[in-house]
Structure formats: C-alpha cells, structure tokens
Structure 1
C-alpha cells in the first residue's frame, strides 16, 4: 500500500498594519511612513492606496538592525552619554 502524505503547509507570516507598527515601536505615524518610504522598514502595498502591511519578521529584522546600528555607533564613540536624552520625544 502506498501512503501519500499531505504537503506540509507553510504558514503565512503575520501581517501588521502601519498603525500596529506605530504602536509596537511607540513612534509617530510620520516617522513610520518615512521608514517605509525610505525602504529602511520593509513593507508592501496591497490593493488600493494606503493599504500597507509589514510582515512581523520584517519588523523584527528592522528592530534587530536598529539595535546593531546603535551598538556600533556607541562603540565608535558617535553616541556619548550626553547624547542620550532622559525622555524621548516624538
């Protein structure tokens, strides 16, 4: 008897709205749009105008890259203790 196995389904990545990205990063909407427009944060437009989505793994990659870039700037002396504000403003 020949058993056939069903192909393993690849789950679709979780897609986030730009509002969800804004909330997760705690950033203003203009900055989130600027990150998408510059290509720094990978996103895709679906359907009509204004329907943007960011894959969760792309947001994770952006966050990890931001941490790595910050660590490099600190190590190279580009960011000093005096450069870090006590309270972030948006």
Structure 2
C-alpha cells in the first residue's frame, strides 16, 4: 500500500520553484522574480535550465520581514494622526 499524498506539497522539500512561490503569495511569476532581482527574496539558480529555486526557510524569513515592516508602518501611521 502506498502512502497517501501529503496535504502540504512543500513538506519534505528544502527548495521550491519560483512559480510555486508566486502561487503561495498570490502574485504573478514576474512579481516573484522582481522580489528576487531586488534582493528582497534570496533564491538560487540550479539545474541545466538554470531555474530559480527558493529555500523554504527564506520564504519564512521574507514573511517575517514583511510582517515587521507592516507592523512598523501601522504603528507609525497610528501615531501621525
């Protein structure tokens, strides 16, 4: 009997393709690539076709940075009234 597929397709993997990152964030592939180009999201190119891959821990770090930036923005806007 084979194991049932995981409900979380990223479990057990260290890297995900940039297209999957775009899906996670509900943005276009171009927007995901722009995050890589700007340095906001670190990624590597691997394989014969040099496809972009993002480490799952980097995705978590990016989310944490975005949450902190949002918190600071909200705190700053809240004190300027």
Please give the TM-score of this superposition, normalised by the length of structure 2: 0.74
Partner of 1:72: 72
Q: Size of the alignment, in residue pairs?
A: 67
Shift of 1:47: 3.3
Query: Deviating runs (4+, > 2 A) in structure 1?
Result: 47-50
Aligned partners of 1:36 and 1:67: how far apart in 2? 18
Partner of 1:37: 37
Shift of 1:50: 4.5
RMSD: 1.9
Give unmatched runs, 5+ long, in structure 1.
1-11, 79-90
Aligned partners of 2:67 and 2:45: how far apart in 1? 26
Deviations 1:11-54 (A, max 9, x none): x9610101110111111111101000111001011134541100
Partner of 1:61: 61
Match of 1:54, SS state, is strand
Question: Which of 1 and 2 has greater Rg?
Answer: 1
Give 1 or 2: higher helix fraction: 2
